[in-house]
Amino acid sequence: MRYSADSDDDYGVTRRGKKQRGKFRYDETTYEKRRRRQPRLAPEDANSDTDGLPEGDRWSTWDQSTPTERGPLPHPDWLVTELAAVDTELGVLKTGKEADVHLLRRGVPETDRSCLLAAKRYRDASHRMFHRDAGYLEGRRTRESRVNRAAAGRTSFGRKAIAGQWAHAEFGALCQLHGLGVPVPYPAQITGTEILLEFIGDDDGTAAPRLAETRPGTAELADLWDQLTEALVTLASGGLAHGDLSPYNLLVHHGRLVMIDLPQMIDVISNPNGSQFLERDARNVASWFASRGHPGADPERLTALLSEEARLR
């Protein structure tokens, strides 16, 4: 076979330029091969609709989400829902173990309508650094058996499906908590493996620090503790626990505490390890506050309070 390397095809396309692309050529094998090599759009790849836009931009994906894939009503005023809007990538906020978080500006060109969004993009299982899929998925079989089989076999479709389930789980958790009044980023929308969230930070794109990175004074520490306790009591009385709570999954924006990173949120009643999750969450945060010198922060007392709220004891 004459053409084995990727490069031959690609060079061919580059050299011949756009004009001839797709025209019948004397070399039919190459033509066929090139057609086969056209990338196929998976649903979430539709995110990359960039026709006529500068590199790095895409059209707003708002119209790609159904009403249930959009955040709770009423949509906040700051959220740009105009279809003429363009999403501009401003950079990576953080690469995490299971997802990367990017900063986006969604704005209507030639107007001053714009907002900042955090885009959390779940990686498929082959690109993640640790896996909680097995245990997690046991309780959440999807009704589509094709998805189940693919997920069990870890085909590339299956891996994408699992990443999509994580994204869905987090989007659902954020919508639920937003409804309960727990301070979480407003979940704007989900498309495939990407969730778009209210950006917690300043207008110039400076992200709020994680609690672990802050050095609050006595009064601020006490205030943050009160905010945290109130949020956790709301969760517990709804029968919920964060499931991976730590000073790294809490942001502090000008004194306001915001809880993030919720794909594994736990139903403490139905989950057989519910009370352990709740206790671990309480310990992780209470011991951080205690180590910073907050006198009211006691892991045992917080665990007891939350267990009672959740009617676990």
What amino acid positions are annotated as catalytic residues?
A: 244, 261
Decide: is 207 part of the binding site for ligand ATP (CB under 6 A).
yes
Decide: is 98 part of the binding site for Mg ion (CB under 5 A).
no
Decide: is 98 part of the binding site for ligand ATP (CB under 6 A).
yes
SS3 55: coil
Compute the least distance from the CB of residue 249 to Mg ion, in Å: 5
Measured CA to CA, the distance from residue 241 to residue 278 in angstroms comes to 5
Nearest of 258, 214, 275, 266 to residue 240 by alpha carbon: 266
Compute the least distance from the CB of residue 110 to ligand ATP, in Å: 27
- Residue closer to Mg ion, measured from CB, 249 or 303: 249
If contact means CB under 5 to 8 A according to the sort of partner, which of Mg ion, ligand ATP, none does residue 207 touch? ligand ATP
If contact means CB under 5 to 8 A according to the sort of partner, which of Mg ion, ligand ATP, none does residue 235 touch? none
- Residue closer to ligand ATP, measured from CB, 199 or 277: 199
Cβ–Cβ < 8 Å for 285, 250: yes
Which listed range, 25-33, 49-57, 139-147, 197-205, lies at the site for ligand ATP (CB under 6 A)? Answer: 197-205
| 3-state secondary structure labels for all residues of 72-121 | CCCCCCCCCCCCCCEEEEEEEEEECCCEEEEEEEEECCCCCCEEEEEEEE
Number of residues counted as binding ligand ATP (CB under 6 A)? 22
Which listed range, 11-19, 106-114, 205-213, 232-240, lies at the site for ligand ATP (CB under 6 A)? Answer: 205-213
What is the DSSP pairing of strand 187-191 with strand 194-198? Answer: antiparallel
If contact means CB under 5 to 8 A according to the sort of partner, which of ligand ATP, Mg ion, none does residue 94 touch? ligand ATP
Measured CA to CA, the distance from residue 278 to residue 303 in angstroms comes to 7
Give, for 269, the enclosing helix (H) or strand (E). none
Compute the least distance from the CB of residue 201 to ligand ATP, in Å: 5
CB crowding 19-51: b at 16 or more within 10 Å, else e: eeeeeeeeeeebeeebeeeeeeeeebeebeeee
Compute the least distance from the CB of residue 173 to ligand ATP, in Å: 11
Compute the least distance from the CB of residue 4 to Mg ion, in Å: 44
Give, for 136, the enclosing helix (H) or strand (E). helix 133-138
Compute the least distance from the CB of residue 260 to ligand ATP, in Å: 5
Cβ–Cβ < 8 Å for 72, 216: no
Nearest of 271, 277, 225, 279 to residue 247 by alpha carbon: 225
Residues 146-185 that bind ligand ATP (CB under 6 A): 185
Decide: is 170 part of the binding site for Mg ion (CB under 5 A).
no
- Residue closer to ligand ATP, measured from CB, 1 or 129: 129
Residues 244-263 that bind ligand ATP (CB under 6 A): 248-249, 260-261
Cβ–Cβ < 8 Å for 231, 281: no
**Number of neighbouring beta carbons within 10 Å of residue 293:** 9
Q: Out of 16, 21, 94, 141, which residue is the one contacting ligand ATP (CB under 6 A)?
A: 94
Q: Out of 87, 194, 261, 281, which residue is the one contacting Mg ion (CB under 5 A)?
A: 261
**What are the beta bridge partners of residue 78?**
none
**Contact residues for Mg ion, defined by CB under 5 A:** 249, 261
**Contact residues for ligand ATP, defined by CB under 6 A:** 93-94, 96-99, 101, 118, 120, 185, 197-201, 207-208, 210, 248-249, 260-261
